[in-house]
Amino acid sequence: MNLPYSKKVDRWTALTVFALVLFGIVMIYSASVIVAHTMYGDDRYFVKRQIIWALLGGAGAVVMANIDYHFWKKWALWMLGITVFLLVAVFFFSRGEINGAHRWISLPGGQSFQPSELAKLTFIVYLSAWLVERRQKLGEVVETFLPYIGVLGVIAFLMLKEPDFGTLMIIVAISIAMYGVAGMTWKQVGIGVVVLVLAIGLSLTSSYRRERVMTFLNPGSDTQGTAYQVKNIAIAVGSGGLKGLGFGQSKQKRLFLPEPFTDSIFAVISEELGFVWAAALILAFGFLIYRGFMIAAHAPDLFGQLLAVGISTWFGVQAFLNLGSMVNLVPLVGVPLPFISYGGSSLGICLLAVGLLLNISRFSDKQPKEKKA
């Protein structure tokens, strides 16, 4: 297949991600310094590890940006199969229950890996390849839509067992966006809505998730559990004002905020740097997502378009779920803020996805026009 190719990647996407990662490293230091000193006697314990993951992830992104994205199509099934194996392995090689969940596989040297982060990327690659293969039969319910629901159901079952409802919500959103772009019919939309409603109802049979929803609807219902977390997040976000209390001056990070340098890092950012920087961060995510969809719009084929749509939807929905839970727009679902929150699995996989997105941008149908100008 002879497609237009350029040595230039989408520089705005690359620069935005670089700025987000750098900003995240700075804020992780501030948000984690008290916990790091208390637990390990080293103020830089967490930030040093994040820098290592950023360097490794950045190197991976460079490699991905230089591999023709069509290469991954033939490996899509294998990639998903390995991911499913790892999602099952969590229950046998887990580092133990953390916050009521089994999501991490223990690695040598006291490290761990979260397969559900990998699942986002491999599911996007697999679904892109799968939809391209069946593009002539996308309107068929039995031959195409039900198998699609079946694959999604396997992923959903494993996610709910961990449990990791936040990641499942992201994957469901990704799958809907990708199938919609490929050519979902209204009949399939109706079936999908019914399945989604049933899945949500099933998920609420868990007391843990039901508590999160009830706290969201009535924040004063539990003064010591989830509502206590929501209250302290709200205090942190609200007390920063326009310009913030100053870098390193957060009061709520002093063992009041849940996960101050992971899931709740936006609350620390709002408290220390204020509304101006918090708004700038939200705008940066909006710009990144816009660039991602622009790359999708100019992709030379359906496979590239679906990959870019999937990755952009992933970043957008995950950022919304994290930021929305910080201002009580959505219940707490426990997902990290992409590129900002502490976590090697999340940062590393997100950077690999960015590398893939940048490679697609090299095949943009706008490249030939730029050369002729």
* pLDDT mean for each 10 residues of the chain (373 residues): 67 97 97 91 94 97 96 95 91 65 70 88 96 83 80 87 84 90 76 70 61 57 62 83 90 82 93 95 98 96 96 97 89 90 94 98 64 33
**Structural domain boundaries in the chain:** 11-82+110-372
The whole-number pLDDT of residue 20 equals: 98
Question: Nearest 5 degrees, angle CA 317-CA 319-CA 325?
Answer: 100
Q: Give the pLDDT confidence of 75-101 residue by residue, as tens digits.
A: 999 999 999 999 988 887 766 555 556
Q: Where do runs of H (alpha helix) occur along 263-362?
A: 265-297, 302-326, 344-362
- As a residue count, the chain comes to 373
Tell me the C-alpha distance between 22 and 25, whole Å.
5
Cβ proximity of 219 and 227 under 8 Å: yes
